[in-house]
Every structure is written in structure tokens, then in C-alpha cells.
Amino acid sequence: MNETDKIIIRNTVPDDLDKIVVLEKNDSQFVQEYSKAEHQNIIEEEQHLSIFEKKSEALIGYIILAGIFSKNKIIEFRRIVVSKKGLGYGKDAIRLIKQICFTQLKAKQIWLDVYEDNLRAIKLYQSLGFKKDKVKTINGRKLWIMSLHQL
């Protein structure tokens, strides 16, 4: 199990999905909403992880990693949603994701995209070593592509 003193991350199970869909709706300005069926497909095909607050055991977020089976060992950190903001849960989760990707999955690189107006997330990613590689514009919104390489 992957955990810190604040959170526990484990593989998402179908019973988590109703809550995950609700959490996602609350963050919809920054993430594309998936249906419950789409989340179920991700559980089966990629890495879908649930984040729990250790103290209360409440489901407070989730993470999606894509490309975990790719031969080039480049993993997409597709999504993180954390409902309780400002408590360090997101930072702890990303630290654990780095550990999972580089140690357990033997990744060479992790990459992500983030909307330019999601300043809180950009600051967090930068504080954890992610660097901006390029900027794309999608539907009039600027999207940063950021990555982190294994040392």
C-alpha cells in the first residue's frame, strides 16, 4: 500500500466510482468529466487510483495514470482530483505518484498537461520538479505540457 501520514492511495474499485464521479464534477473547470462507465474502463485498462484521508478513511480524490504498459516507459499523469484543498493531500499524492511511477513501474518520464489558469496546480507541479516543456492552445485555452524525468 502507498501511504503517507495523511493519505492512503490504493487501486480504485468499482464501489469507489459513484463518489469519484461526484468529486470530478466539483473540479470540472479543470478536468474533463468522465462517465462512471469510462472510469470503469480506465480501471481495467490503465491505472486508476483512489486517495483516502487516513484520519477519516474518507475517499477524497483519485488519480489516473496512462501508458503504464508502454515500451518507452513514459507515463502520462492524466488526472488528479483532490476534494480537500490546502491540506497537503495533493502534494503527498503526487510524491507517492512519483514513487510509484519511477520505482514500481520503472518509468523514465512522467508527463502531464495543465490549464494555464490552474495556477495552484502549476505551482504544486513546479515545486515537485515538473518542468514546462511546451504550451498548446485547445478551444482557446492554453494548456501547459509539463514533465519530470527519472534522474
Residue 144, in any domain of the structure:
yes
Residue 48 scores a pLDDT above 60: yes
Query: In this structure, what CATH number is given to the domain that contains residue 125?
Result: 3.40.630.30
- Mean pLDDT for 59-65 is 96
Q: What is the pLDDT of residues 84-137, one digit of tens each?
A: 989 999 999 999 999 999 999 999 999 999 999 999 999 999 999 999 999 999
Q: Considering the domain boundaries, does residue 59 fall inside one? A: yes
**What is the tally of structural domains in the chain?**
1
Question: Domain range spanning residue 118?
Answer: 7-149
Arithmetic mean of pLDDT over the chain: 92
Q: Decide if 130 contacts 148 (C-beta within 8 A).
A: yes
Q: Is residue 1 part of a domain?
A: no
pLDDT at 151 over 80: no
With respect to residue 2, please indicate whether it lies within any of the assigned structural domains. no
Query: What pLDDT, on a 0 to 100 scale, did the predictor assign at position 103?
Result: 94
Q: Does the pLDDT value for residue 51 go beyond 90?
A: yes
Strand 109-115 to 74-82 pairing: parallel
pTM of the model: 0.90
Per the DSSP assignment, residues forming a β-bridge with 12 are none
At 1 the pLDDT is 67
> Per the domain annotation, does 82 fall within a domain?
yes
In a domain, 93, yes or no: yes
For residue 26, tell me if it sits in a domain: yes
CA–CA distance, 29 with 131 (Å, rounded to integer):
23
Cβ pair 9, 3 in contact under 8 A: yes
